[in-house]
Amino acid sequence: METGYRCLASIDVHKKLLAIVIRREQDGQTHYQERRFGTTRREIEHVAAHLQHEKVTEVVMESTAQYWRPVWYGLEAHFRLHLCHPLATRSPRGRKSDFRDARRLVDRLWGGDLEDSFVPGAEQRSWRWLTRARVDLKDKVGVVRSQVEGLLEEGGIKLAAVVSDLFGVSGWAMLERIARGETNLPALIGEARGALRKKRADLEEALAGQLHPMYQLLLKQHLEQVKLLRQQISEIHQALDVAMKPYAPILHRLCRLPGVDLGAAQGLLAEIGPAAAAFATAEQFASWAGVCPGTQESAGIHYSNRSAKGNRYLRRLLCQIAWAAVHTKETFFASLFARLKPRIEAKGAAWAVAHRIAKLIWLLLHEGVEYQEKGPAAKNPQTLMRKLRRLIKDFKSVGVDVTTLIPHAVQGRA
């Protein structure tokens, strides 16, 4: 390669079209080359060959819907790739064209002011497809549950008001009988299990209605749909167990965190990676996940600290982990939630816990350390001293001097 030679390329990605601009700078002169390609696998192979022939070293593209994925997969073995968000490179209205967009992309890559999106490796991408499909299937089960409850309301059956889980063991058995046209109350109530047996009177009232045969047909179809969804979720569980078996020690380390079970650990590993190698610091990771305070400032005025959207699957998972962690007993996160709740309410306190957990997860993965539960923060002497100083200050603000009631040793430290 000649001295002072540099060659970059950008791709404006569409469903059926790739607009490619190659920029090279040689002896102080900038040259552009434009060319169009299709988006089929064979066309992408032609793109790779063309870029290699032109001695391109780096390629940048926008994350346009799902259409960038086959282009990325076809080029990642040959070039250093960059992916950027379309909103970060949007052109002014009235000055947009395919090649102009591609030229703007390659110019910004040349200038070094593009922020790359995180694209995991092939193995981690396969994990993501499985874990995200599992989330979507579980959401579909929730949708069907709402539809079943609506059908029961049509017949005046208030089963959902008595059972804690409509698709639990007892509720499911009753629903199957109702779908078959069963109207015998003792037979329906006989399907109750555990503590639900003590609610016989409530069940008699709730099951007094009756479904029309048309609604029974729909209920039967909904139950069959849930069976299929549960089977598919089970198959995904098995596939993930096999795919992540080499990373069992990492999963075990994550499961030691309060609020994290095996499914959550698998989701974390799929979104972050086994070592969180793409994130240099815990703060950078928390920002990417979207669970830390944001910044909206102009002319020295701070307008908002609303968090960025971040990775929606990871953000949702961290919030679920946080809510599970704050309901554990004798743990640091439960005490942290209790301390923050009076000041910023439950939702804000859980959000702060999610932020803390995100930083801790990065530490567990990136540094390979083990989680050690040290119990409630209220038992920490430093925490108790801070609380004592705050209480003394509060009493003084209302004119009450409590220092005479406190030992001199404590007064000195306070």
DSSP state of 292: S
Note whether 101 and 36 are same-domain residues: yes
Last residue of a domain, one of 243, 270, 291: 243
**CB-based contact 46:27 (threshold 8 Å):** no
Compute the half-sphere exposure of residue 127: CA atoms within 13 Å on the CB side of its CA: 26
Note whether 266 and 361 are same-domain residues: yes
Note whether 331 and 232 are same-domain residues: no
CATH number for the domain that contains residue 26: 3.30.420.10
What is residue 57's three-state secondary structure?
coil
Q: Decide if 372 is inside a domain.
A: no
Note whether 127 and 238 are same-domain residues: yes
Q: Decide if 251 is inside a domain.
A: yes
CATH number for the domain that contains residue 162: 1.10.287
Note whether 150 and 68 are same-domain residues: no
Last residue of a domain, one of 223, 243, 263: 243
Compute the half-sphere exposure of residue 235: CA atoms within 13 Å on the CB side of its CA: 8
Note whether 167 and 261 are same-domain residues: no
pLDDT at 5: 63
Note whether 72 and 142 are same-domain residues: no
What is residue 23's three-state secondary structure?
strand
Torsion of CA 64, 69, 70, 75, to 10 degrees: 100
In this structure, the chain runs to a length of 414
Q: Decide if 1 is inside a domain.
A: no
Q: Decide if 116 is inside a domain.
A: no
Q: Can you give the residue range of the structural domain that contains 335?
A: 247-366
Residue 152, strand partner residues: none
Last residue of a domain, one of 226, 243, 260: 243
Note whether 318 and 354 are same-domain residues: yes
Q: Decide if 117 is inside a domain.
A: no
**Mean pLDDT, 10 residues at a time, the chain of 414 residues:** 70 91 84 91 93 92 87 92 82 74 84 83 94 96 95 91 91 93 90 90 90 93 97 96 94 92 94 91 90 73 73 92 92 89 89 93 92 72 72 74 58 46
Residue 200 CA, chain-centre distance (Å), reads: 41
What is residue 308's three-state secondary structure?
coil
Backbone φ, ψ for residue 331 (5° rounding): -125, 160
Q: Decide if 230 is inside a domain.
A: yes
Note whether 269 and 321 are same-domain residues: yes
The total number of structural domains in the chain stands at: 4
Note whether 159 and 178 are same-domain residues: yes
The vertex-42 CA angle with 37 and 46, nearest 5°, equals 55
Note whether 305 and 290 are same-domain residues: yes
pLDDT at 356: 93
Q: Decide if 373 is inside a domain.
A: no
pLDDT at 97: 79
Q: Decide if 118 is inside a domain.
A: no
Note whether 103 and 158 are same-domain residues: no
